[in-house]
Structure 1
Amino acid sequence: MTNSQQEKVRCAGCGVNLQTKDSGKPGFVPAAALEKEIIICQRCFRIKNYNEAASVAIDQDDFLRLLGGIAATDSLVVHIVDLFDFEGSIIPGLQRFVGNNPVLLVVNKIDLLPKGVSTNRLRNWVQKQAKAQGIRLMDVILCSAKRGTGFEHVIEALAQHRGDRDVYVVGATNVGKSTLINRLIRDYSDLERELTTSRYPGTTLDAVHIPLDDGHDIIDTPGIVYSHRMTEIVPRDVLGAILPEKEIKPIVYQLNADQSIFVGALARFDFVEGERQSFTFYVSNGLKLHRTKLERADELYAEHKGVMLAPPSAEQLADMPAWTRHRLNVKRGQEMDVFISGLGWIHVNSTVGALIDIHAPKGIRVMLRDALI
């Protein structure tokens, strides 16, 4: 292979290996573009021509290798997380990868919570959860990428904390990272001038360096794929049902022991033992909940999954992992959420205690956490 041919298998912008099969993965380029003298991937093309970053995903091992290089730099790290899927989207062990670099935690999708939730309470809750993950935060910013709420605070925080540094933006898929990157591009970078005068600044793997006016860069890293999130295992046409688009309307059930609630055909909540009490479901408004007796739950699922209990459809369920059971014990006096990554959470309203089983696809993260609301 000649030097010219070797250049053509890598993006002239970010250096990633080019491929023509999957537009959702790094390095995608339309087949016709391979005939060009200088080839850049679709992601670089969108930034260069439209001042717009596109979402791509990367597997966990490659992402961790990419993260590992940040510790040797002097940078500000912006970690974007999804408030609706906080434990599912936060990067475990982030601090050991970024070293002593300061971390700004941007918490997206606050518009999904019911009106009236205290922002101070949310901020304190986020700080406590991040501390439990060992992350030392410079600041916490609450925002909504979709609504544009709070983005002025993100810009202010960057101006306050960046100093003479590059900015690394990291996060899982579907957390709103591209929206933030696009806003930063518009506010900080004259890309038309920068990118027409020189080769697009390249790096290792799939990180894209977006030049800032002061000579530093925003480094846009691909979204990491976490298979423990429901959003990563459901078919694409089911995402619209499980990802909330607007404020969640909590649904409260007064349950006796030995009652169950199905969340479509995606999960099942069993109240196994405890006094009669209420449970509040915070899931997408696009999902249907169905109550039944625990003794009938298995039979109901077998007969009605994919039809009355949906989404997904019966055909789609055949391609998803089988359910596994998680037993959770909420002790007397505790105020807890039952969290199902990518699907939402159930608040245990009573303080008398409850024994709960959650049935969800194998591999999905299910856990108890301190109550968010």
Structure 2
Amino acid sequence: MTEEIRCFGCGAVIQSEDEKKIGFVPKNALNKDVILCKRCFRLKNYHELQKTSLTNDDFLKILQEIGNHNCLVVYIVDLFDYNGSIINGLTRHLNNNDILVVGNKRDVLPKSVKDIKIEHWLRRQLKESGIKPVDVILSSAVKNYNLDLLIDKIEQYRNNRNVYVVGVTNVGKSSLINALLKHYSQSENLITTSEFPGTTLDLIEIPLDDDSYLYDSPGIINEHQIAHLVKDEDLKIIIPKSELRPISYQLNSQQTLYFGGLARLDYIKGEKTSFTCFFPKRLKINRTKLSNGDALYNRHLTLQPEIESIKDINDMAVHVFKLPNYKVDIVISGLGFVSINCPGGNIKIHAPKSVGVFIREALI
């Protein structure tokens, strides 16, 4: 029986029979020490993403398989897009295995916010989601932040068991594992990463010691993230790579903010109030009167980036919120959030129909 070979970049089983299926490698490349499938090779060298046929059901089967083992699960969430990085029913799928939660992309949130405040906020959000972690750590793969602490916590909680790393697409899961590989083993063989959602295709096995392994799993596709709707070249605009710089707008009622051409906030009713926006630096925010809002959107190419399939503002879904008497964030999944403290105020959010829009306790 031929030994199964897996792509080091994405974990897919290597095959040379069908170029259109995942894991394809030409036969003349099978003798290399480290094998990358055609998809990972082109992603790494040419920044091209080949679409795959994996579905959410495929990802959930992998989660359920993890639940069949007694293991430690490292669950990575995106601090910039916490709501978009929640896996519904995670505890059920994992059969109540121990969960160590890592709040990744700490470097994106303002340095002025203390870690302890973010951690307490994250624990409250997890509790609302029905997740009871053994511990919570803030980290950044980009800045190698808290990597030593993460390794110590993994060793503390795994008790000689295997470790499985899970998370939705684009939370920085593979980047974090690569940071650990570089930091502790100086390895040049890294798993495939990019801003494209869903670049890991199967479990990638990384030895921890003689008897235990760390497994990187595919990202679960969370369809309400806006990254799944924009053009590939626009992902660099909406995915933050550096610290968010909040921008505050003093709005009177009947004013509108556009976040590129991707979403819109209408301030319908309330006193003059500060709207503090936390969005990637490259995303342009436009302010206008509510009465001019529809016309501004429907002017071709005025607002960029855009969703190609949406030609009229009325094609977007509308979310209406009456604001409570405490500070909240209005979150547009995968795009950013707006902090508001306006008791009794009314706002509307226009966003693509599949994109999640949430109100939550303010993070900052």
User: Which structure features the higher share of helix residues?
Assistant: 1
Shift of 1:90: 2.0
- Tell me the amino acid that sits aligned with residue 19 of structure 2: T
Contact 2:103 2:136 in 1 (8 A): yes
Match in the other structure for 1:360: 351
Q: Secondary structure at the match of 1:100?
A: coil
Q: Indicate the residue corresponding to 2:198 in structure 1.
A: none
Task: Note if 1:156 corresponds to 2:149.
Answer: no
Q: Does 1:20 align with 2:11?
A: no
1:260 — aligned with what? 256
Counterpart among 170, 174, 181 of residue 178 in structure 1: 174
Partner of 2:337: 345
The aligned runs of 1:143-222 (5 Å cut-off) are 143-186=139-182, 206-222=202-218
8 Å CA contact 1:78–1:105 kept in 2: the answer is yes
Give the whole-Å Cα distance in 1 for the aligned partners of 2:245 and 2:327: 20
Report if the CA contact (8 A) 2:298-2:313 is conserved.
Answer: no
Match of 2:74 in 1: 78
Quick one: structure 1 residues 323 and 73, their matched pair in 2 at CA, closer, same or farther if it must change by over 3 Å?
same
Asked if structure 1 preserves the Cα contact closer than 8 Å seen for 2:164 and 2:215, the reply is yes
1:42 aligns to what? 37
Q: How many angstroms does 1:217 deviate by?
A: 1.1
Q: Kindly indicate whether the alpha-carbon contact (under 8 Å) linking 2:297 and 2:312 is maintained by their aligned counterparts in 1.
A: no
| CA distance in 2: counterparts of 1:176 and 1:372, whole angstroms | 20
| 1:76-133 residue CA offsets vs partner (Å, 9 max, x unmatched) | 0001111111110121211011123110111111111122102111001101111111
Could you tell me which residue of structure 2 aligns to residue 200 of structure 1? none
Going from structure 1 to structure 2, the CA distance change for 1:95 and 1:358 (only over 3 Å counts) comes to same
Q: In the alignment, is the contact (CA less than 8 A) between 2:140 and 2:176 conserved in 1?
A: no
Q: Deviations over 1:182-210 (max 9, x none)?
A: 23445677999xxxxxxxxxxxx822222
Percentage of matched positions with identical amino acids: 40
- Deviation, 1:74, is 1.0
What does the per-residue CA deviation read over 1:231-283, in whole Å, with 9 as the maximum and x for residues that have no partner? 12111110111111111111111111111000110000000111111111100
- For 1:49, the equivalent position in structure 2 comes to none
Structure 2: gaps spanning 5 or more residues: 42-48, 189-200
> What's the counterpart of residue 329 of structure 1?
322
Residue aligned with 1:81, SS: strand
Q: Given that residues 320 and 361 in structure 1 are in contact (C-alpha distance below 8 angstroms), is that contact kept between their aligned partners in structure 2?
A: no
Provide closer, same or farther for how the CA distance between residues 365 and 321 of structure 1 changes in structure 2, counting only shifts above 3 A: farther
Q: Secondary structure at the match of 1:246?
A: coil
| Equivalent pair of 2:203/2:216 in contact (CA under 8 Å) | yes
Residue 99 of structure 1 aligns with an amino acid whose one-letter code is: N
Contact 1:188–1:213 under 8 Å retained in 2: no
Shift of 1:171: 1.0
Match for 1:75: what amino acid? C
Range moving further from structure 2, 13-22 or 87-96? 13-22
Aligned twin of 1:311:
305
CA distance in 1, matches of 2:40, 2:184: 19
Task: Give the TM-score of the pair, scaled to structure 2.
Answer: 0.83
- Aligned equivalents of 1:36, 1:179: Cα separation in 2: 26
Deviation (angstroms), 1:324: 1.1
Whole-angstrom CA distance in 2 between matches of 1:181 and 1:324: 37
The answer to whether structure 1 residue 112 and structure 2 residue 108 are counterparts is yes
The whole-number CA distance in structure 1 between the counterparts of 2:183 and 2:236 is 30
* Contact 2:256/2:289, CA 8 A, preserved across alignment: yes
Distance 1:45 1:248, change over 3 A: closer
Q: Is the 8 A contact 1:173 1:224 kept in 2?
A: yes
For residues 326-367 of structure 1, the C-alpha deviation after alignment (integer angstroms, 9 at most, x for no partner) is 111112x221110100001000133x3311100011110001
Change (3 A) 1:69 1:43: farther
Instruction: Provide the C-alpha distance between the structure 1 equivalents of 2:263 and 2:65, rounded to a whole number of angstroms.
Output: 38
How far residue 175 of structure 1 moved from its aligned partner, in angstroms, is 1.2
The residue correspondences of 1:122-137 to structure 2 (distance < 5 A) are: 122-137=118-133
The answer on whether the counterparts of 2:317 and 2:350 sit within 8 Å (CA) in structure 1 is yes
Gaps of 5+ in 1: 47-53, 193-204
SS of the residue aligned with 1:146? coil
Aligned length: 339
- Aligned match for 1:300, one of 292, 296, 299: 296
